[in-house]
Amino acid sequence: MSQDFITFLAASVLNDGKIVGSNPSVESDDAVADVFVPGVLSISGPRTQSALQCREEVRRDQALSEESADLSIRMLYEFYSTQTTKKPASINATYLLDGVPRNAKKSSINGHQQDGEEIHMQSSPYMSSSMPHQDGEEEAVPSRSIILAKGEDLEGKSNLRFVGLVYSPASELSAAEKGFGARQGADCNRAISEQYANEDPLVFQEKYGAIQNAGVKRRTGRRPPIEAQPISIEKINDKASNNSQGINREPKIAVKSFDRPTSSNKSIKSTSQAAVAPDIKAERPRDVPKKPASQPVAAKREQSDIFKSFSRPRAKFKYDDTASSTGASPAPNTAYSQQFESLREDEPMKDASEDEQEEDFMTSNSVNPRTSKSQSKRAEQLRKMMEDEDEVMEDTGEDALRVSQESEPADGPTPQKEISPEYPVVVTGGRRRGRRKVMKKQTIKDEEGYLVTKEQPAWESFSEDEPPPQKEKTLPSTATSSMGKGKKPGGKPGQGNIMSFFGKK
């Protein structure tokens, strides 16, 4: 049967075919020009073959030996021939051909001789002396072709081996798109690559008959820098929790801020490991409050290390975070705030913008902070804080502050406080400074990602040249501080600058 089939195939498909056998070697079709060799057949690749719409079978065929692939393609052809005899032009066939085209070899030789001549024609003095192109002239570049051809185009390509056959029912195609269209093929290939996209090519390509490569190097796992960072943070967090003297943070927060969406958001965030920046933001205000009074500065340092490692470009005063009145250590926190009050004396211009973020100091329990620390120790801490301040200005995020502002009044023991006169008021050199409570609008992102704006009581420190009536002063200072929000240089890096860059000059 096989010989009959080959005869039939050769005679019908290729008019000038001459049968030399069913399994000639590759070289024979180079040697004999007009040979059609149906014997060495294999099905074409799964992608071009995909028009058969039987991908799985085709894939199996990939692994078949040549004999059985021969059979499979024979079956294809049988189907094709029976269909065409039953009803002519009901099926269009597309062939994948492989070999050396009759005219290609000749033209490549010609082309190359031309090249050689051209090279010789160049006769600059240094060329002629050094280098003739004998090699190039004699060389004939072997060329083979792999052609996807339609049945009607097979004329003149009869010395190519016929390695594949793709057919498609004509009835399924529009009249304009008879046969296996290029568009159709490309679409099929794309569909296949999408369908099998989740397969590991290293595992599956062997199954589909791809050439294996033992040396393939593929990355596994993640990039080292990404892995390294969470580890270091974890370490730092451990330190921080050590500093917190074993206080369990999670339950505390849950208890304290159960009813507040922002707080619950915070606790949710905090449960996740601080691998990404938002988590850190959430965690930050939580860590700091629990610091014992004895070593707040060291704890601060570690905080700044965390943020340095993430190099967040946003700025925030870290001592805001100390605002946390966990009740256990209110006095030192207030001491802090007082220290920074005094720090701010030196730069009152800046304070207008910065103070508005610090109103969350919960100082209700600590009316007289100065008694808690000796002056010298405070001075040293202050100096350290000033050093840290610069770092944190760059490193921490404003969002972190916002969360802390939002949540800490809730955590604090005195959320019910009204807008109140300033506590405590210090008068130095004719200037009044202190802190007072104001209602501030806070915009935070809740756990579903919505921005929620709330009015919250917040503490604000102020510094005035003369003691004005307190109630009158409250409003202007709020206004200035909200204005300060927009131009805050550290808090919103670049935003104001970008807008001014695009604005009219």
Partner 1 sequence: MADGDENVLLQPPSDEDYPTIERQPSSYNPLKTFNLAKGDQKHYQQQYGDMYFLRLAKLKPAVEEIAAEAWADIVIAGESVRRVDRVLDVRQGELCWVAGTVYMDMPLKPNILDDISKDHWISAPPPREKYMSPTGQDQTMLEDESGRLRLIGAPLQISMLVTGCIVAVMGTENANGDFEIVDLKVPDLPRQPQRWERDDGSAILANGGGKSKSEVQKERKAGGKAAIVSGLGIDGEEGNTLTLDLLMEYLVGEACGQSTQQEVGKISRLIIAGNSITESTPLHSRDELTDKKSKKYGYDSSIYNPAPTARLDDFLATILPSMPITLLPGESDPANVSLPQQPIHPAMFPHSRAYTPMPGSEGPGWFDSVTNPWEGDVDGWRMMGNGGQPIDDIFKYVEGDERLEMMENLLRWRCGAPTAPDTLWCYPFQDNDQFVIEECPHVYFVGSQPAFETAIVDGPAGQSVRLIAVPKFKETGEVVLLDMDTLEVETVNFEIFNET
Minimum CB–partner distance for residue 307 and partner 1 (Å): 23
Of the residues 146, 191, 367, 427, which one makes contact with partner 1 according to CB under 8 A: 146
Token pair recorded at residue 175: 């009249």
Binding mask 199-218 for partner 1 (x = CB under 8 A): --xx--xx-xxxxxxxxxxx
Shortest Å distance, C-beta 234 to partner 1 = 22
Q: Beta partners for 169?
A: 91
Helical ranges in 244-329 per DSSP H: 249-256, 261-271, 277-287, 296-310
Rounded Cα distance, 503 and 498, in Å: 8
User: Which residue of 149, 173, 277, 452 would you call a contact of partner 1, by CB under 8 A?
Assistant: 149
Closest listed residue to residue 332, CA positions, set 384, 368, 287, 303: 368
Q: Judged by CB, which is closer to partner 1: 184, or 480?
A: 184
Alpha helices in 355-503 (DSSP H): 375-395, 398-411, 470-487, 495-502
- The residue among 205 and 342 lying less far from partner 1, judged by its C-beta, is 205
Spell out the residues 6+ positions from residue 367 whose beta carbon is closer than 8 angstroms to its own.
Answer: 423, 424
The distance of closest approach from Cβ of residue 233 to partner 1 in the complex, given in angstroms and rounded to an integer, is 20
Q: How many CA atoms lie within 13 A of 422 on its CB side?
A: 23
Question: Rule CB under 8 A: is residue 170 a binding residue for partner 1?
Answer: no
Residue 119 interacting with partner 1 (CB under 8 A): yes
Asked if 189 is part of the footprint of partner 1 (rule: CB under 8 A), the reply reads yes
Q: Which is nearer to partner 1, 172 or 346 (CB)?
A: 172
Binding-site member from 109, 147, 425, 452 for partner 1 (CB under 8 A): 147
For residue 49, the minimal CB distance to partner 1 (Å) is: 9
Q: Could you tell me the two tokens for 469?
A: 């009536």
To the nearest whole angstrom, how small is the minimum distance from the Cβ of residue 97 to partner 1? 9
DSSP state of 162: E
Binding residues with partner 1: total (CB under 8 A): 93
x/- site string to partner 1, residues 350 to 389, per CB under 8 A?
Answer: ----------------------------------------
Residue of the chain from 85, 88, 174, 225 that contacts partner 1 (CB under 8 A): 225
Tell me phi and psi for residue 443, to 5 degrees: -110, 120
Tokens of 482: 């909200």
Binding of partner 1 by 415 (CB under 8 A): no
Close Cβ partners of 263 (under 8 Å, ≥ 6 residues apart):
253, 256, 257, 406, 407, 410, 411
Interface segment toward partner 1; rule CB under 8 A; list 118-126, 344-352, 412-420, 451-459? 118-126
Give the per-residue contact string, 88-107, with partner 1 (x = CB under 8 A; - = no): ------x-x-x-----x---
Question: What is the residue whose two structure tokens read 């595992």?
Answer: 203
Least separation in angstroms between residue 279's CB and partner 1 is: 24
CB of 213 to partner 1, least distance (A): 4
State the nearest-atom distance from the C-beta of 145 to partner 1, in Å.
4
Whichever of 181 and 484 has its CB closer to partner 1, that residue is: 181
| Distance (Å, whole) CA 404 – CA 287 | 11
Nearest residue to 498 via CA among 121, 487, 322, 1: 487
Using CB under 8 A, which of 85, 124, 171, 376 touches partner 1? 124
Site for partner 1 in 36-75 (CB under 8 A): 40-42, 44-48, 57, 60-66, 68-69, 71-72, 74-75
Q: Is 67 left (phi over 0), alpha (psi -120 to 50) or beta?
A: alpha
- For tokens 């040979």, name the residue: 35
Per rule CB under 8 A, is residue 182 in the interface with partner 1? yes
Choice from 193, 295, 368, 495 touching partner 1 (CB under 8 A): 193
**Cβ closest to partner 1, residue 108 vs residue 264:** 108
Residue 470 identity (one-letter amino acid): Q
CB of 31 to partner 1, least distance (A): 15
Q: CB-wise, 124 or 375, nearer to partner 1?
A: 124
Which of 50, 290, 295, 17 is CA-nearest to residue 162? 17
Residue 469's identity, in one-letter code, is: P
Cβ closest to partner 1, residue 143 vs residue 368: 143
Residue 10: which of 33, 39, 31, 43 has the closest Cα? Answer: 39
Q: Which helix (H) or strand (E) holds 428?
A: strand 423-428
